[in-house]
Amino acid sequence: MSGMSAGRSAMRMGPAELVQAAAMARRFYLEGKSKIQIAEEFGVSRFKVARVLETALERDLVRIEIRVPAELDAERSDALRARYGLRHAVVVESPAEAQDSPDPENLGEVAADLLGELVNEGDVLGLAWGRSTIHMAAALDRLPPCTVVQLTGVYDAGTAERGSVEAVRRAAQVSGGDAHPIYAPMLLPDAATAAALRNQTGIARAFEYFDKVTVACVSIGSWEPGISTVHDMLSDEEVSHYASLGVAAEMSAHLFDADGRRVGRDLGERCITVKADQLRRIPEVVAIAGGQRKAGAIDAVLRSGLVTSLVTDTSAADYLMTAGPTPKPALNRADPDGI
């Protein structure tokens, strides 16, 4: 806010008008007083107060700036939210040194702050396997009291203590709630082995919470080595088979084509993971994924309708804003398969 030096446009107002407009603007914008209160103080109608405030904006006497932290891109965030019909979209500036890297670590830090907003006391928070969710859990510094459950097995049971299990424990420690980890691989050799593991006491207890999850945090992988957990656990023959079905993305061991349709459903019988229809019923599903190499996969998963919110970066967001036809709004949670 400025006075006599506000510029030529402001000087079109007389000095008395300038002083009064500045005083009213100060009361309204800085002191939080209502237009009625200002009108009573200055002995004018509230309609005149409204006109004066409008004139102050038009003539540059008052300047309003919307400022967010430098690493957040508010314009891209809002555009992405609107395009995909998401509840929340948060776009983070891509680090210059990580333009081609999937899931820059700063995504996890922002996602941790977002979870702090979304999770309420008494919620059940579900965490799926993924580097981004592990980064997110490590960055958590506040969560209301809630139960934390692991939604998938781990990539490598030998690294469980440093991966999803530790992420679940960390989130539960921050919240002060109970933790329900899963000490089992995500992918098993056959359906019978997977079924047997699901019936083990600890794993079965975690599975009982799947239908109670209110907020879930998931990762997204594209169908290529090093960027898809499932891809890296399959044999070359299996990779070729699922690729022939048009796989473009995976999330929590579920495979999707470029239009968001689920393919290769038989794989789920061999996996320790939350079911797709259970994910669809969770009120808030937050995906954390970024980078140019994952952009197409993120688009595919968003088109599935399973995700309600997204934390991503500018390099992925720029692709998403022009990727194919406008998708159906995610918040209707419609199944693109019609099943």
**pLDDT-derived band of residue 336, with 50, 70 and 90 as boundaries?**
low
Lowest mean pLDDT among 12-21, 72-81, 304-313: 12-21
> 3 falls in which pLDDT band (50, 70, 90)?
very low
User: Who has greater pLDDT, 339 or 110?
Assistant: 110
State both tokens at 15. 């000095």
What is residue 100's predicted lDDT score, i.e. its pLDDT?
60
Predicted local distance difference test score (pLDDT) of residue 225: 82
Confidence of residue 157 (pLDDT cuts 50, 70, 90): very low
Closest C-alpha among 61, 109, 90, 83 to residue 303 = 83
Residue 271, pLDDT above cutoff 60: yes
C-alpha separations of 93 from 97, 166, 275, 297, 313 in Å:
12, 28, 33, 19, 6
pLDDT at residue 69, as a whole number: 54
Residue 12 has pLDDT above 60, yes or no: no
Instruction: Return the top range by mean pLDDT from 29-43, 156-170, 263-277, 317-331.
Output: 263-277
| φ/ψ bin of 117: left (φ > 0), alpha (ψ from -120 to 50), beta (otherwise) | alpha
Does residue 2 surpass a pLDDT of 50? no
pLDDT at 99 over 70: no
CA 34 to chain CA centroid, Å, is 36
Amino acid at position 97, single letter: E
How many CB atoms are located within 10 Å of the residue 88 CB?
16
Q: In this structure, what is the dihedral angle of CA atoms 79, 74, 95, 308, given to the nearest 10 degrees?
A: -60
- Asked whether 255 and 247 are in contact (CB, 8 A), the reply is yes
Is residue 56 very low, low, confident or very high in pLDDT (cuts 50, 70, 90)? confident
In 3D space, the residue among 99, 140, 90, 144 whose CA is nearest the CA of residue 119 turns out to be: 144
Instruction: Report the predicted TM-score, pTM, of the whole model to 2 decimal places.
Output: 0.76
Confidence class of residue 10 from pLDDT cuts 50, 70 and 90? very low
Average pLDDT over residues 83-90: 93
Q: In the prediction, which pLDDT does 227 show?
A: 79
* Token pair for 89: 């979209």
Residue 328 has pLDDT above 80, yes or no: no
Strand-pairing partners, residue 150, are: 127
- pLDDT at site 67: 55
3-state secondary structure of 125: strand
Specify the range with the lowest mean pLDDT, choosing from 64-78, 174-188, 228-242, 245-259: 64-78
pLDDT tier at 300, thresholds 50, 70, 90: very high
DSSP secondary structure, 75-101, as one string: HHHHHHHHHHT-SEEEEEPPPGGGTTS
pLDDT class for 97, splitting at 50, 70, 90?
low
Asked whether the predicted pLDDT for residue 70 surpasses 70, the reply is no
> Which residues, other chains included, contact 135 with Cβ-Cβ below 8 Å and sequence gap of 6+?
103, 105, 107, 108, 109, 111
Distance CA 295, CA 107 (A): 14
151 vs 235 pLDDT, higher one: 151
Give the residue-averaged pLDDT of 132-147: 91
The whole-chain average pLDDT of the chain stands at 85
Q: What is the mean pLDDT of residues 32-39?
A: 90
